Structure 1
Amino acid sequence: MATRINKYLSEVGFCSRRRADRLIEEGKVTINGKVPEIGTKVEDSDLVEVEGQRIEKSMKQKNIYLAFNKPVGIVCTTNKVVEPNNIIDFIKYPKRIFPIGRLDKPSEGLIFLTNDGDIVNKILRARNNHEKEYIVSVNRPINRKFIQTMSHGVEILGTITKNCFVEQLGPNKFKIILTQGLNRQIRRMCETLGYRVQTLKRVRIMNIKLDVPPGKYRKFTKEELLELNKLLEKSLKTFD
């Protein structure tokens, strides 16, 4: 049965579909010695290579799902050449894995890592429907107006952010739950209102909570993975 090349690479756990598309665009993927177009389909009998490395379905391993507490200063990339402080070198996991989504370098907290390209695709497709919870501190006291404005939308990047839950936790600290993922969204929202983020920690993604020390990771429980897949199915139906 023919399979799209990006799905093929994700199913064997080589990379996410998005990363596969980038590799194809960069001319690093070949099928039977020829560089394919995005969307090209492959058969089981085809020879697929990435930068000269043969990729086979027999390479497919048991799926890995990790909840990692990213420290400040670590970059969420698999590119070891461009970024020496990358998340893969930091974790040193014995098998190939890649992060789902991003946390910027100055931020910390929960991020998922996996070798399951299909779940990466589902989460990224449903990115505007699942909850992500953060604890944030800023450089000066916040007030009721700040909370209300953050809750009801702030203009950044040429758009108004979606309504979201915001709760004050202290003079300079608040909790915020987002259902969208604009680039550096919380930092930009705060900057628009005249505040500067000092610390930003993600403490929850959907049903998975941060419960390990900085720099440590754990595997998803069976119950967590089951619930996550249920939530993703609901999100995808809403998103579509």
Structure 2
Amino acid sequence: MDKILNQEKLRINKFLSKYGYCSRRVADELIKQNKVFINNHPATLGSIVNSYDKIYIKENSKLKEIESQVDFVYIAFNKPLGITSTTYRKDKSNIIDFINYPKRIFPIGRLDKNSHGLILLTNNGDIVNKILRSENNHEKEYLVRVNKEITEDFLSKMRSGIKILNQITKPCKIWKLNEFTFRIILTQGLNRQIRRMCESLDYKVSYLKRTRILNIKLGDLKIGKYRHLTNDELNKLFELIGI
């Protein structure tokens, strides 16, 4: 195996995340299931690996070595309705099988099954938490249509914060486009946040599309298609997340 980060020591879950195998959470689950091995010995939660170790994952009763050098991939994908933002292959609507990319990749965050639009995927586990960390106030922009007329009171309450999931949402930017449609920019990612915010004000979302994450825009990317991020996009993205 190639040296790991010039002999830097890493926790086993960070190693598997960094080199594109899975997230740290999934890595911990695999460790609990005795599917992760270090030098042919079962790994434990918190195990440390270094440049001399060989890391294996048990797949279909066979051990597969995880290489420590990968070419990082960064993808913008226009997720269709009905596709689930999961790597769980038993879910027939999972995003990984739909894209069918030749390298192992995983989504950065989620976009619920009944919404479509921009989602980023990568095999670089290091950037995932940096993008998703809510305290960094990273912007995500959405186009939303609701079932009844948008009022100034609705906009004001959405803008100030709504109580959902036992907390008050962070203040956000929102503006009305027409009688039933608005744009909104969030800096947090609670589960089904926009839908829950609208429901709390007796509105129902009939259409939701994510159009931007940080500096990455959906643009005219067709539904169900993906593209690789440009060097300019990556440089700005890394600047924004502090890499």
Superposition TM-score, scaled by structure 2 size: 0.90
Note the 1:161-240 alignment, pairs <5 A. 161-211=169-219, 212-233=221-242
Give the AA of the match of 1:76: S
Alignment partner of 1:170: what SS? coil
**Superimposed CA distance per residue, residues 15-69 of structure 1 (whole angstroms, 9 cap, x where no aligned partner):** 23333233223332122343333221012332322124333435x3211000000
Q: Structure 1 regions of 5+ residues with no counterpart?
A: 235-240
Partners of 2:31 and 2:129 in 1: how far apart?
17
5+ residue gaps in structure 2?
1-6
Aligned-partner residue type, residue 57 of structure 1: E
162, 165, 170: which one pairs with 1:157?
A: 165
1:125 equivalent to 2:133? Answer yes
TM-score (normalised: structure 1): 0.91
Counterpart for residue 65 of structure 2: 55
* In 1: Cα distance, 2:235 partner to 2:204 partner: 38
Secondary structure at the counterpart of residue 148 of structure 2: coil
- Which amino acid in the other structure matches residue 14 of structure 2? K
- Aligned partner of 1:43 in structure 2 is 50
Q: Give the Å deviation of 1:126.
A: 5.0
With over 3 angstroms needed to count, the CA separation of the structure-2 counterparts of 1:126 and 1:34, relative to structure 1, is farther
Q: Select which of 80, 104, 125 maps to 1:71.
A: 80
Q: Distance in 2 between matches of 1:194 and 1:15?
A: 39
Residue 57 of structure 1: SS of its match in structure 2?
coil
- May I ask how many residue pairs the two structures share in their alignment? 232
1:207-236, CA deviations, whole angstroms, 9 ceiling, x for partnerless residues? Answer: 0000201001111110110000110019xx
CA distance in 2, matches of 1:126, 1:230: 17
Query: 2:103 is matched by which residue type in structure 1?
Result: K
Alpha-carbon distance, 1:99 to partner? 0.6
- 2:156 matched to 1:148? yes
Equivalent residue runs for 1:99-110 within 5 Å: 99-110=107-118
RMSD, aligned CA:
1.7
> Given that residues 57 and 66 in structure 2 are in contact (C-alpha distance below 8 angstroms), is that contact kept between their aligned partners in structure 1?
no
Secondary structure at the aligned position of 2:210 is classed as strand
Q: 1:47 touches 1:54 (CA, 8 Å); kept in 2?
A: no
